[in-house]
Amino acid sequence: MEIQAADLARWWHLASFGQAVIDEQGMILQVNRTLGDWLGAPMRRLIDQPASELFTPEARMLYLGLLAYRVAEHGEAGEVHLTLRVKEGEPMPVLCSARLILHRGASLTLLSMLTIARKDRLERELLEARQATQRALAEKSAALAELESLHDTLSAQRAALEQTNQRLGQEALSDVLTGLPNRRRFDQALEAALAGPSATFSVAMLDIDHFKPVNDHHGHAAGDRVLQRLGELLSSQLRGDDLAARIGGEEFGLLMPAASLEAATCALERLRQAVEARPLEELAITLSIGVTQYRAGDTRETLMQRADDALYAAKRAGRNRIVSD
């Protein structure tokens, strides 16, 4: 098949490239229809216009500074990303190549443009996706930081709560005035001793003699201080595993693990003598003490009852003494 020059001239307009021929002054000599269609302008309106006017102001700099410059220097330039100005439409991104053509003594430039709207859109979408990912990552780390700070606050609150619980627990088992274990703690310790493996332990009840006159003559506050001093004395005089508790009023209970009745009586006698020998708050104080040892079948009640009975026997017998049962 023979192809005529006229055919080629027609096909120049049908090319999927936008094409323009530019003279040495940078003015458009000819454009193909494809380019005219893209720009929404009749071909004749484009002719004799500066080629740089085809592009958006930003792309114009690139066209003149890079593409036109390279063509002038090297005779050709390839794949420069430019943007066409479209009449009443969105600017159109194109990939532009150009080459110098010598024509009848003149140096013309053949400009070919390939639309890259799809590539451009994909790149924009990719950029947007990347920015969205970065935003999501930033939000995630902010959320994580917030979570960590919440976790810290929660841990601190939990620790404070545990401390409060511990304090409350201790307070619930302590006597406020003397700081000694209270009746409830004493009962718990007694139950534990009864449930424990050792069949040898002793329990004592201890009461200040004639305490009422102390209060009556020296005041309730002085009475309180005597109780506090006695509490300190009990703590310092007794063995490490002995438990001294304030049972109520001026009455104290002692649990002496692993102590036979004889050993317990001996220790209590030393305590009685120590109290008798050392005035508390400059007041001479004596103690009456009832002591008993665990017997098979004992319960907390039977043990306490025997110790109590022994205490009252000591009172009846003239006070300032120990009665053992």
Residue 207 contacts ligand GTP per CB under 6 A: yes
Q: CA nearest 283: which of 188, 213, 202, 236?
A: 213
Stretch that binds ligand GTP, among 121-129, 168-176, 201-209, 289-297 (CB under 6 A): 201-209
Structure tokens that stand for 246 in this block: 């304030």
Tell me phi and psi for residue 107, to 5 degrees. Answer: -100, 105
Selected binder of ligand GTP within 101, 129, 177, 284 (CB under 6 A):
177
Contact of 267 with 259, CB cutoff 8 Å: yes
**Residue 19: its H or E element:** strand 18-22
217 is an interface residue for ligand GTP by CB under 6 A: no
For 245, residues 6+ apart whose C-beta sits below 8 A from its C-beta are 175, 180, 181, 182, 183, 185, 186, 189, 252, 253, 254, 255
From residue 172, give the alpha-carbon distance in Å to each of 140, 166, 225, 232, 260.
46, 10, 22, 20, 31
We find the least distance from the C-beta atom of residue 224 to ligand GTP, in angstroms, to be 4
Closer by beta carbon to ligand GTP, 3 or else 176? 176
Q: Does 312 bind ligand GTP (CB under 6 A)?
A: no
Q: Look at the block and give the residue holding tokens 């479209």.
A: 86
DSSP calls for 48-87: TSBGGGGB-HHHHHHIIIIIIHHHHHHSEEEEEEEEE--T
Does position 121 bind ligand GTP by CB under 6 A?
Answer: no
Size of the site for ligand GTP (CB under 6 A): 16
Nearer to ligand GTP, 71 or 314 (CB): 314
Verify binding: residue 210, ligand GTP, rule CB under 6 A.
yes
Residue 90 is given by DSSP the state -
Per CB under 6 A, does 269 bind ligand GTP? no
3-class DSSP state for residue 92?
A: strand
Q: Is 175 in the site for ligand GTP (CB under 6 A)?
A: no
**Choice from 28, 174, 203, 209 touching ligand GTP (CB under 6 A):** 209
Q: How far is the CB of 221 from ligand GTP (least distance, A)?
A: 7
Q: Is 281 in the site for ligand GTP (CB under 6 A)?
A: no
Distance CA 251, CA 141 (A): 63
223 part of the interface to ligand GTP, by CB under 6 A: yes
Please identify which residue in 19, 215, 237, 305 interacts with ligand GTP, judged by CB under 6 A: 215
Q: Which residue is nearest to ligand GTP (CB)?
A: 223
- Comparing CB distances to ligand GTP, the nearer of 41 and 204 is 204
* Residue of 250, 262, 281, 301 marked active site: 250
Q: Which residues contact 292 (CB under 8 A, 6 or more apart)?
A: 202, 203, 204, 261, 303, 306, 307, 310, 324, 325
Nearer to ligand GTP, 58 or 232 (CB): 232
139 catalytic? Reply is no
Per CB under 6 A, 220 contacts ligand GTP: yes
Q: How far apart are CA 148 and CA 140, in angstroms?
A: 12
Compute the least distance from the CB of residue 210 to ligand GTP, in Å.
5
Residues 137/129, Cβ–Cβ less than 8 Å: no
Q: Which residues are catalytic?
A: 250
Task: List residues near ligand GTP by CB under 6 A.
Answer: 177, 207-212, 215, 220, 223-224, 227, 249-250, 315, 319
